[in-house]
Amino acid sequence: MFTIIPLKNGLDNVEGFYSQGINAGLKKEDNDLAFIRSDTLCDISAVFTTNRFQAAPIKHFQKYPKEFKTDFILINSKNANAMTGEKGIEDIEEILNAIEIKTTNPLMSSTGVIGYRLPKDKIIQACKKFNFDTKDSDSTAKAILTTDTFKKEICFQVKLSDDKSFYIAAICKGAGMINPAMATMLCFIVTDANIPKNDMDTLLKEAVDNSFNTISVDGDTSTNDTVMLLANKKSKIYDKEAFKEALKLLTKELSLQILKDGEGSNKVVAFEVKNAKTKEDAKKAATALSNSLLVKTALFGEDPNWGRIASTIGASLVEASEDTLVISYDNVTVYDRGVNKMDEEVEKKASKVMQKDSFKIVCDLNKGDSSYTAYGCDLSYEYVKINADYRT
């Protein structure tokens, strides 16, 4: 038995971790540079983007030996340090060497515009302003944002008994380029649980697959996507099931926050494909729905145009037929095995569902017993506006 208790103030709750965000002049006023530091060495697990052009910080990470420990991460927003070649990695080394506190195997993580070298001197100068003994999760969470409109920060106390508990906390950024492949997101998770390195690796991968990898904002995949888990083991407490559940909840909650904050997005929609012939079919169809421009614009228009749902399922080339397909908005069935149920009353009900901030579109294929849920958002004018002039 265990209890999961949500707490405010994110990373600040976890003993031995310090963090702070400041403005280094990459953005005009907002925070754009942060550190996360541990006063002892941590085990680390990481999941990175599958993009062929991994950004310099990811390549820098991979230069360390396989099972290294670390105590320091520097993070900047506004510049992705991607497509910058060997120079991009040298810049990271130079910046990390200039940090005025002893670090072991320090890391860097970046997000922002692709193709430009980091403003090295600006960053080195700004690092002098850090107070490395500060606990300031709030400023840290804000410093890693790009087009996000709110900070994403979370902490759980996991109680195994009255006197036994550990903490797990995270900050994260998302917004555009979110795709079932973890795009344009950074997520830093810290814990004092006494978790073995093996469990860190397998549980993190599993949690990412079931959270960040199920969401889509625009179907694009970035060069910088990173999820890191740092464990300092200070609590000396651990229970695998409890940690697994807490990590699952934490990543799921963050992924829904990312989606809610998708560029110009107003709605979070769960696309549940049921009774597919295979697991692959279920995933393929659900992902096609969450990525379809025509479905996304219909969501924005709050138009229960189920023909687009059907057409997208058909175009995904999964095993499906008109005679077995059932489509519902929450529990309002609009198409039932060959019959359009959309009379005036049903249309009114379906439209009402679509006016909600979050709802479910269920496609029952009736071809087998596999299911998959992908999460998506609507496509608004605002998305086009944000992305038409992102660099400026």
Query: CA-CA distance, 318 to 328, in Å (whole number)?
Result: 19
Residues 307-366 within binding reach of its own copies (CB under 8 A): 307-308, 310-318, 320-323, 335, 338-340, 342
Q: Which is nearer to its own copies, 18 or 335 (CB)?
A: 335
Cβ 187 to its own copies shortest distance, Å: 19
Cβ 68 to its own copies shortest distance, Å: 25
- Which residue is it, tokens 């189920």? 306
- Which residue is it, tokens 């990312």? 258
Query: CA-CA distance, 80 to 26, in Å (whole number)?
Result: 11
CB 36 within 8 A of CB 178: no
Query: CA-CA distance, 107 to 121, in Å (whole number)?
Result: 18
Question: 3-state class of 214 per DSSP?
Answer: helix
Q: Which is nearer to its own copies, 45 or 51 (CB)?
A: 51
Max Cα separation, the chain? 70
Taking each continuous run of H as one helix and of E as one strand, the counts in the chain are: 11, 16
Query: CA-CA distance, 380 to 378, in Å (whole number)?
Result: 6
Q: Which is nearer to its own copies, 117 or 360 (CB)?
A: 117
Candidates 70, 103, 111, 184; catalytic one: 184
Question: Which region, judged by CB under 8 A, interacts with its own copies, from 50-58, 90-98, 133-141, 157-165?
Answer: 50-58
Q: How many residues bind its own copies (CB under 8 A)?
A: 70
Q: Which is nearer to its own copies, 134 or 324 (CB)?
A: 324
Question: Which region, judged by CB under 8 A, interacts with its own copies, from 14-22, 51-59, 189-197, 272-280?
Answer: 51-59
Among 3, 8, 85, 104, binds its own copies (CB under 8 A): 85
Question: Which region, judged by CB under 8 A, interacts with its own copies, from 10-18, 34-42, 214-222, 369-377?
Answer: 214-222
What are the tokens at 65? 């030996």
Residues 95-154 within binding reach of its own copies (CB under 8 A): 113-117
What are the tokens at 343? 């009379």
Among 32, 43, 153, 218, binds its own copies (CB under 8 A): 218
| Residue type at position 335 | Y
Per-residue DSSP letter, 226: E
Residues 228-287 within binding reach of its own copies (CB under 8 A): none
User: Kind and range of the H or E element at 135?
Assistant: none
What ranges in the chain are assigned the alpha helix state H?
56-62, 85-97, 120-127, 137-143, 197-209, 240-260, 279-291, 293-300, 306-315, 344-354, 381-388
Cβ 368 to its own copies shortest distance, Å: 15
- Which residue is it, tokens 């060069």? 223
Count of other CB atoms within 10 angstroms of residue 353: 18
225 alpha carbon, distance to own chain's centre: 9
Active site residue 147: no
Among 7, 40, 53, 131, binds its own copies (CB under 8 A): 53
Q: Which is nearer to its own copies, 201 or 209 (CB)?
A: 209
CB 24 within 8 A of CB 168: no
Among 219, 271, 273, 287, binds its own copies (CB under 8 A): 219
Q: Which is nearer to its own copies, 58 or 193 (CB)?
A: 58
Query: CA-CA distance, 38 to 69, in Å (whole number)?
Result: 11
Query: CA-CA distance, 16 to 39, in Å (whole number)?
Result: 5
Residues 144-203 within binding reach of its own copies (CB under 8 A): 176-177, 179, 181, 183
For its own copies, what does the binding mask look like between residues 276 and 295, x meaning CB under 8 A? ---------------xxxx-
Q: Is 25 in the site for its own copies (CB under 8 A)?
A: no
Question: Which region, judged by CB under 8 A, interacts with its own copies, from 5-13, 32-40, 75-83, 122-130?
Answer: 75-83
Cβ 221 to its own copies shortest distance, Å: 4
Residues engaged in binding its own copies (CB under 8 A): 50-54, 80, 82-86, 113-117, 176-177, 179, 181, 183, 218-223, 291-294, 297-298, 300-301, 303, 305-308, 310-318, 320-323, 335, 338-340, 342, 379-381, 383-385, 387-392
Active site residues: 184
